[in-house]
A and B are shown apart, each in its own frame.
Chain A
């Protein structure tokens, strides 16, 4: 449980948010060209990092907007928050 600084609404309790998993997984540009292995990689395989991880979050019980977060999963410390489409800041 922690406090998240929504880029649109400011600081709110984490229970207002929904975690959306690993960020920057790009949808395949040519889905018809993909092999089964590549589909599995895109759909199921995750880095699941212990340490600094890039994630998507949604302010589900607030503005309902998506944004990105850099968070240390070993201690839940939030390193940075940035909007969708923006380049991740260097940390």
Chain B
């Protein structure tokens, strides 16, 4: 690696006042033709390019991004990583990603600040208790670490939670996945971009796709704001804009794009050293390394591409958080933002070939794609390189909406919507 980061490179560059660090990735103009083009320079797209180059020896490839890399949902999520999903197919997919996370900083030579601080999911009624216990058993059968906690154990693990039984939705118990946690989301995009760039991948920013050129049932290339690029393989990883690209290719997807909001508070001293999620009251919170509380709100119920959400969604989340954590009652919120999430009817993603030869879609991650970034990239690269899905993403094909073999994770897998 030409530009390896280490304590020695840090000292060397300190001597020149950190003014001579090399750029982490180049800024090339697009070539006329590539073996494959990835549409979308977020974490998933960059990871796809990285694994195509690394594991499948496809070096003549490009990632085209309409804005700047990591500026979409990669930089807008609440950075939670976990794999405690109910169904076997999902458990396989998300735990594959979690295993890659565990060695990712070393592999990329880039600190993604992966922190296995645990994710706790709360139960607030009898049905929650049954669902969470069932999911704990399912997780353990799939080799995923999960434990069920009593109310006292929840309180012990996270002392600031109000576990009194006289609140509107008292805490009746919870689950804990200790291997779960958070990571620095921007670093994931930057780390993959740097790794892919080093292997010869062209990362082309400010390059919006305007059309997909087809020759009958196969693709010939893409029209972009930087001209036509010829290619036989197109991997679309465009999150909330997946349907826009699909419409260009003349196919339809089972997606609806909706705004999802998040917000952070002013920075404070360490107060919560884990991630706590509650589906029933829709509150989830963790604390960033800068000290801000990171809070995820819900989606609006209408289709919108505005990257803005409704105020009452934030208000509802904060109401729930204040009841669970009275200690936060005087915290001030610093920033609020929205991202556009592409939601599938079964709340599971699509990593799939399409009816058009050479056109692949990686979409439908909805409200929870960040956690899967490395696994998604790895499996999507496999699908593009071999024109066949890997066994771990075979269930997540587009045809499941025709066959009816859905992976129904709505509500089943601690998915907060």
Chain A residues with CB under 8 Å of chain B are 1, 14-15, 18-19, 21, 36-37, 39-41, 43-50, 53, 55, 71, 73-76
Question: What is the distance, in angstroms, from A84's C-beta to the closest C-beta of chain B?
Answer: 18
Find out whether the CB atom of B304 lies under 8 angstroms from the CB atom of A45.
no
> Are B306 and A75 closer than 8 Å at their CB atoms?
yes
Contacts of B309 in A (CB 8 A): 1
Distance between Cα atoms of A73 and B252 in the complex (Å): 18
Please tell me which stretch of B196-204, B253-261, B262-270 contacts chain A, meaning at least 4 of its Cβ atoms lie within 8 angstroms of it.
Answer: B253-261
Q: Name B404's closest neighbour in chain A (CB-CB).
A: A36
Instruction: Please pick, from B305, B312, B403, the residue contacting A15 in the complex, using a CB distance under 8 A.
Output: B312
B241 at the interface (CB under 8 A from A): yes
Beta-carbon nearest neighbor of A19 in chain B: B302
Which residue from A14, A36, A37, A73 sits with its C-beta under 8 Å from B310? A14
- Report yes or no: A40 in contact with B401, Cβ–Cβ below 8 A: yes
Residues of A within 8 A of B253 (CB): 45-46, 48
Instruction: Taking A48-B256, A49-B247 as given, write out 18 further A-B residue pairs in contact, using a Cβ cutoff of 8 Å, ordered by the A residue number.
Output: A21-B256, A36-B402, A37-B402, A40-B254, A40-B402, A41-B252, A43-B345, A43-B401, A45-B401, A46-B254, A47-B252, A48-B243, A48-B255, A55-B302, A55-B303, A71-B302, A73-B257, A73-B304
Q: Which residues of B in the span 301-346 have a Cβ within 8 Å of any Cβ on A?
A: 301-306, 308-312, 345
Q: Which of B301, B303, B403 contacts A18 (CB 8 A)?
A: B301
A selection of 16 A-B contacts at a CB cut-off of 8 Å is A1-B311, A1-B312, A19-B301, A36-B403, A40-B254, A43-B345, A44-B345, A45-B252, A46-B243, A46-B252, A46-B255, A48-B253, A48-B255, A48-B303, A73-B304, A74-B306
- Chain A residue at minimum C-beta to C-beta distance from B257: A48
| Alpha-carbon distance between A58 and B247 when the two chains are bound, in angstroms | 28
Point out the residues of chain A lying under 8 angstroms from B247, CB to CB: 47, 49
Chain A's nearest CB lies how many Å from the CB of B275? Answer: 28
CB distance from A77 to the nearest CB of B (A): 10
User: Which residues of the other chain, A, contact B401 by a CB distance below 8 angstroms?
Assistant: 40, 43-45
Hey, which chain B residues are within 8 Å of A47, CB to CB? 243, 247, 252
Cα A76 to Cα B257 in complex, Å, equals: 13
Residues of A contacting B302 in the complex (Cβ-Cβ under 8 angstroms) = 19, 55, 71
Q: How far is the CB of A15 from chain B (nearest CB, A)?
A: 5
Give the complex CA separation of A15 and B401 in angstroms: 31
Cα separation A14 to B300 with both chains bound (whole Å): 11
Asked if B244 is at the interface of the complex by the 8 Å CB criterion, the answer is: yes
Question: For residue A14, which residues in chain B have a CB less than 8 angstroms away from its CB?
Answer: 310
Give the complex CA separation of A44 and B338 in angstroms. Answer: 25
B310 to A45, Cβ gap below 8 A? no
| Minimum C-beta distance from B183 to chain A (A) | 29
- Interface pair B345/A15, CB less than 8 Å apart: no
- A16, chain B: closest CB distance, angstroms: 10
CA distance A41 to B310 in the complex (A): 30
